[in-house]
Amino acid sequence: MTDRRRRNVPARLLSRTRQITPRAHWLLLSVLVVTLSTALLLQGYTHHMFGITSDAVTDARGPNQAVPSRVTQGGPVIANASSSPHTAQVKARTIALTFDDGPDPVWTPRILDVLRRDHVHATFFVVGTQVVDHPELVRRIVAEGHQIGIHTFTHPDLARLAPWQRSLELRETQLAVAGAAGVTTALLRPPYSSKNDALDDADWSVLKQADAAGYVTVLSTQDAQDWQRPGVERILANATPHGHAGQILLMHDAGGDRSQTVAALSALIPRLKAHGFRFATVGASVGMAGPVQPAGLGDRLQGMALINVLQVGDRVVWLLELLMYAAGAVSVLRAAVVLVAAHRHRRLRTSHRGPSWGPPVTEPVSVIVPAYNESAGIEAAVRSLLASDHPVEIIVVDDGSTDGTADLVESLGLPVRVIRQRNAGKPAALNTGLAAATYDLVVMVDGDTVFEPDTVRTIVQPFADPRVGAVSGNAKVVNRGGLLGRWQHIEYVVGFNLDRRLFDLAECMPTVPGAVGAFRRRALLDLGGVSDVTLAEDTDLTMALCRVGWRVVYEEGAKAWTEAPASLNALWRQRYRWCYGTLQAMWKHRGALVQRGAAGKLGRRGLGYLLLFQVLLPLLAPVVDIFALYGLLFLDPVRIVGLWLAFLLLQLMMGVYAFRLDGERPGPLWSLPLQQFVYRQLMYLVVIQSVFTAVSGSRLRWQRMERYGSLQVPVGAEAPGDDLPPQDPGFPQSAPYDGIPEPVRYDGYPQQAPYDPLHRPAPYDPRYQPAPYDGRPQPPPHPGLRQPGPYEAPQRY
């Protein structure tokens, strides 16, 4: 919307399209990425770096010279390890039941039920990740009078960790307990520990660091070995003490199937009580005063935050995995659909039984070249058009260029009509050319594009079918040097052209590219010309034609060579404009979703395909990359690499087939793996930026495209050929702008009601076929077309 138009818009409407700084969402996105990365790293570390495994110690023990003898020969509860260590023995005829690795949602409640039934209190050494997953069980343990001890956060072998990791393991577990149950504990049982005489020097360093942090280490004196699941009777035998000495009995309430533990415990407690044993918590069994205390407010708040963050991380990973599978399924679906459609499209076009357009189209064609600062390539473009083997009228519309584009074309002395106008944008330039065109068939070509000699003749042949209103040509990248050029070449061949074959087959072509497209002039005039309400005027125009009943087809043999951006910055600007303009056009023509006939095909097939594969899939695709990095760090790297290679193989297969269909050498496909690491990410960001801009209501301006002068005049096209039909010598050469009458505004077009079925083009007589050009006078320009007016702000291409 121009400034002039905005002044005529009521304030209440302007408030709905308020300007939002596009850069603001990048800050929001950066914060989201950092937060997501932190959550994933924390979730990956806590769930996949370590884990609850068998208590069996398979590695050889190290030296134990640093372990004091009074510890190796002392009691199972060790205090003051970093200064003057001492130990404590369990009272005689006392059993301290301890359960490691929980809480578990299945087995911990069953063990608690047994303990409550027999009026026994025990000590539970909990794992932090399990506390995060099941905080309600920790609250039940505390509420029923049992003691809590910590068993680290992720169940690693502390002796193998760096000191900072040990501190992290202990601190995070303590916070999790504080957040879950509102208590802190001084009791610690290191994973994979057993009796005092099994301690080595590495274990002792752990105990000294734990003591410095305020912990008392609790080992065991008797192991039920229920982690081996040897059977209920064997667990009972292992858990029954010999003699009357007090014992700290090691059992497990998590880490696997603990049904044998529950059954053995139900029999063990009555049996030991019958033999005169009593049961107590670890603290009570050694006379320790208050090892479990209420947590401070700070610890409780930090613990609750930790639990919430990790629980959110779990949900995020679950969602990412779901989205990854969804993105993979959509990618495979798209590959299957476009490959099948491309194969069928080729068969229909090459089969003798396939449909024919009709008699050859030989009538002259008006070629419109909108140009804004195209001096680098306009000569090559014009000379390639003059070399066409089909009669053409060439109209170059200079849209207020500042680099002498119009002067350059006039200086060539070629039979080309040059029209100058003030800068008003590409749609206005196309409308100016459309008003000046002599013939009913018009070809639109960008000023940075060259045609092959047969391109014009080939692209107009489908107009033998009176139902065809527009034809898309085959745009190819001319500057393929370097990785960026190769990647765009691959995208044009594999992405754009495969999609166009599918759209052609499904009769829902959404875009005739501005680089090479042909139209029926009367169809465009009936629409009111080329609209400027979107930045993708070619997509908007094509969709409008489809909605009023015209058929739009793809002619792969009509080749045009166009310059592609040669820098990432220029590529960003171009694709941002394309994507944002496409979103505008999709929204403008959303009504086609509920229409019937040709409009319904565009809506339900074309718009549905664009929404699913060109909007949602690129938005989902980064999930695949994020989850791949997550998998490489924390999951099975071999499996992740295998999935990535399978995805790459699928793309490679599509590329080979698409290159074969287009008659291209597959050499550039070697750069396809590299494309996944730079080019795809750039396209993702383009879609994200475009969607945000569209949702926020911001208005994107035309971006100036760089021209590199890489276009070359086709061989034999240095001058018009002798066999070409003569151009009308009466074409007036343009005078400077001051001599041209001031054009009126674009909105002076007589407009129809938008896509009302009553205003569709009149039905064609199927017996009518266009007659060869025989020099008869051609129809004058459509009398209802009026010249567009200049915009206040310069428009860019």
DSSP for 86-121, written as a single string: EEEPPPTTEEEEEEEEE--TTHHHHHHHHHHHTT--
Contacts of 66 (CB under 8 A, 6+ apart): 201, 204, 205
CA atoms within 13 A on the CB side of 606: 37
CA distance 476 to 483: 16
- Residue 708 sits at the vertex; the CA angle it makes with 375 and 498, to the nearest 5 degrees, is 110
Neighbours of 649 (CB within 10 A): 10
Residue 604, CA distances (Å) to 58, 396, 547, 549 in order: 63, 37, 12, 15
Strand partners, 443: 367, 518
* Catalytic position from the list 25, 55, 100, 538: 100
Of 2, 740, 794, the closest CA to residue 423 belongs to: 794
Is residue 376 helix, strand or coil?
A: coil
Counting every residue, how long is the chain? Answer: 797
100 among known catalytic residues: yes
Strand partners, 560: 451, 475
CA distance 734 to 318: 66
86-88 vs 247-252, strand pairing mode:
unpaired
φ, ψ of residue 218 in degrees (nearest 5): -115, 110
CA distance 245 to 563: 89
CA distance 493 to 515: 15
Instruction: Name the packing angle between helices 24-44 and 297-350 (round to 10°).
Output: 110
Neighbours of 705 (CB within 10 A): 18
CA distance 594 to 577: 28
Of 482, 477, 468, 507, the closest CA to residue 495 belongs to: 477
Contacts of 337 (CB under 8 A, 6+ apart): 502
Contacts of 499 (CB under 8 A, 6+ apart): 338, 609
Q: Is 267 exposed, middle or buried (0-12, 13-18, 19+ CB in 10 A)?
A: middle
Does residue 371 contact residue 398 with C-beta atoms inside 8 Å? Answer: yes
φ, ψ of residue 98 in degrees (nearest 5): -125, 140
CA distance 791 to 422: 8
Of 531, 524, 529, 528, the closest CA to residue 545 belongs to: 524
Strand partners, 399: 421
- Residue 565 sits at the vertex; the CA angle it makes with 664 and 370, to the nearest 5 degrees, is 95
* Catalytic position from the list 47, 252, 390, 589: 252
Does residue 485 contact residue 476 with C-beta atoms inside 8 Å? Answer: no
Does residue 791 contact residue 532 with C-beta atoms inside 8 Å? Answer: no
Is residue 436 helix, strand or coil?
A: helix
For 370-398, letters b (16+ CB in 10 Å) and e give bbbbbbbbbbbbbbbbbbbebbbbbbbbb
Of 96, 304, 297, the closest CA to residue 189 belongs to: 96
CA distance 745 to 431: 11
Q: Which residues are catalytic?
A: 100, 252
